[in-house]
């Protein structure tokens, strides 16, 4: 069965090919892309949404995803994770969209509740992320707190500093420079983020690919 995934900054094409070489890879989804897929002579049976466009183009709307979910003949399974996919899956879980991973759970639980939690800017040619998504910061800081690299108070200060920044400006360097916390804890956190921080978006994308292919 034909399968298509929209991905970019969260996971590179090489990593996708290692897990699911049979899946067709498209750039981050934008308004009209799923309509175009449905209009093809043989639409895919499965669609995965990982990344989507925010500032670069019109965001895909829930209504467009519903068109795929609501097909009466040859229904399409739609999966979402990591970024735009997690956001739309949390909105449409009751309509049959399949949400996958940590970021989806953050939205479903209400810990994340805004588009800017997953929004980033990226290089249009390489699809390389130019900033850090808020959800990745949340997961990484939570991991540092669990390992007692930072105190609960420092973790809260770092998250508040990150949330206060406009999303294209969110980098770990800017976040740590803005946080009000003991210098030794911020230094330890900086070392952790540069060497050991989890990448929630990528991990979720890998999980989505395995679920789509049964690998």
Per residue in 132-175, pLDDT (tens digit) is 999 999 999 999 999 999 999 999 999 999 999 999 999 999 99
Sequence ranges of the chain with CATH classification 3.40.50: 3-124+200-213
- Reported as a pLDDT band with limits 50, 70 and 90, residue 72 is low
* Residues 33-43 pLDDT 10s: 999 999 999 99
Kindly indicate whether the domain formed by 3-124+200-213 is annotated with CATH number 3.40.50.
yes
- Least confident range of 46-55, 80-89, 159-168: 46-55
Whole-number Å distance between alpha carbons of 77 and 29: 16
Mean pLDDT of 4-24: 94
39: number of Cβ within 10 Å: 8
- pLDDT at position 65: 94
């Amino acid at each position: 069965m034909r399968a298509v995934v929209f991905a970019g900054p969260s996971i590179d094409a090489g990593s996708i090919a290692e897990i699911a070489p049979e899946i067709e890879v498209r750039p981050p989804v934008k308004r009209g892309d799923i309509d175009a897929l449905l209009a093809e002579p043989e639409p895919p049976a499965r669609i995965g949404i990982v990344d989507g466009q925010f500032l670069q183009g019109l965001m895909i709307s829930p209504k467009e995803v519903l068109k795929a979910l609501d097909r009466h003949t040859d229904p399409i399974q739609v999966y979402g994770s990591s970024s735009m996919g997690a956001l739309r899956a949390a909105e449409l879980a009751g309509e049959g969209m399949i949400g996958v991973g940590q970021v989806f759970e953050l939205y479903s639980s209400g810990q994340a509740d805004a588009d800017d939690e997953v929004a980033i800017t990226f290089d249009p040619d390489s699809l390389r992320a130019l900033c850090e998504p808020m959800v990745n910061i949340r997961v990484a800081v939570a991991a540092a707190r669990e390992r007692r690299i930072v105190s609960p108070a420092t973790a809260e200060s770092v998250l508040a500093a990150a949330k206060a920044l406009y999303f294209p400006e969110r980098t770990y360097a800017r976040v740590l420079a803005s946080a009000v916390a003991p210098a030794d804890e911020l230094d330890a956190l900086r070392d952790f983020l540069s060497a050991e921080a989890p990448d929630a978006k990528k991990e979720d994308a890998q999980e989505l690919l395995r679920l789509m292919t049964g690998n």
